[in-house]
Structure 1
């Protein structure tokens, strides 16, 4: 029987123009995200698409073309914020010498990173364009990732202290509850008017850790502030 040899196939040629267009489009998108972030930082979290576009030196139709609507732009800017926050928090946790210090370091990293531009942080966590109030939209998977990050030091602390058993359901609930406290306190702290009476990021991180690890003491003393510690 005569051998049948397979017919060699060739890969479909890559459309060079399409690849260049996609690369150009992605570069343009990144440029618009950076411009939007700078505009929000300067103009405020309630900046309109028209304001953002004007600050970027283009038209709002360009932003609509790349992001669909303001929510799409918020999500795109939020992805950049997520990456920075996660990087800072992971690095902070690695330098800790114990569970409590790990939590303090991570909360401090969260606060200081968000504090670099409260306007941008609020912009990417705002629920809608028009309804005022505290942020309610999750930054993608960031807060889920933060639960995992803070679960490690809390789990170690609770197990070492003998407060719970290895398979206790509370080990799963406590990090979620802790995150609610961290996020609520952090966002309230970001919105607080500048004042010598307000704690700085370091004092706030220590206080949050005290609430989580120690609970509320019977004779709660006022928060120490950077101003008072000098």
Structure 2
């Protein structure tokens, strides 16, 4: 078997060698299996899970993990990419479930919070950056996740603002509100997860209603009707 880092064989006609394509497919499939094992280990052992525990869950060795995922930072990036894909798929479905902008955004907020409630250990793992990753870095995986969510919200808001006669404001307000809602919900989720016994017990619906109550007045605002010409 060829080593993982070998160069692909290019045939005279420019096509890839069939063995290279099969090996690449094998690596992709194996990497996906290891990421699924990592998610399972995180759920069992918590956000501080070690590579030994992940390898044991996968039924393999740390050497195999390192070969396919790299070090812990590489594992972290692979897990975040998988979580990002899941979140975006859930949000895409949620944004189509509402009849108006408020209900669509409420569905997206609820979908995100249900993910946090369902997988708190995964959420904590994702939000705990490895030492090699710093907040604000363009390649920061967390920034990429929140950016993708913000873009989905921005699109929903831009469509709403344009449809309600606020075209001139849409380019400014939609991205500010969209990414602002992401920050609001993320902070609310962090507070929700770290609540103490003295903190009121809130459900996903409670938090969603609170977020919607804050943004609804801005979304319900209609652009003023144009001045009628004097007769």
TM-score (norm 2): 0.74
For residues 147-186 of structure 1, the aligned pairs below 5 Å read 147-155=150-158, 165-166=168-169, 169-186=172-189
State the distance in 1 between where 2:107 and 2:17 align. 49
State the distance in 2 between where 1:14 and 1:164 align. 49
Whose Rg is larger? 1
Q: Give the counterpart of 2:70 among 68, 71, 78.
A: 68
Deviations 1:26-70 (A, max 9, x none): 221111111111011111011111221122222222211111111
State the distance in 2 between where 1:193 and 1:51 align. 29
Change (3 A) 1:195 1:49: farther
Unpaired segments ≥5 residues, structure 1: 1-9, 131-136, 216-230
Q: CA deviation at 1:12?
A: 5.3
Q: Give the counterpart of 1:91 among 90, 93, 103.
A: 93
Residue of structure 2 in register with 1:207 after alignment: 210
RMSD of aligned residue pairs (Cα, Å): 3.1
Residue of structure 1 in register with 2:106 after alignment: 104
- What is the aligned residue count? 202
State the distance in 2 between where 1:89 and 1:67 align. 27
TM-score (norm 1): 0.74
Residue of structure 2 in register with 1:219 after alignment: none
Q: Indicate conservation of the 8 Å contact 1:75/1:139, yes or no.
A: no
Q: CA deviation at 1:168?
A: 6.6
State the distance in 2 between where 1:93 and 1:191 align. 28
Change (3 A) 1:214 1:68: same
Unpaired segments ≥5 residues, structure 2: 1-11, 133-139, 219-231
Q: CA deviation at 1:79?
A: 1.5
State the distance in 2 between where 1:59 and 1:147 align. 38
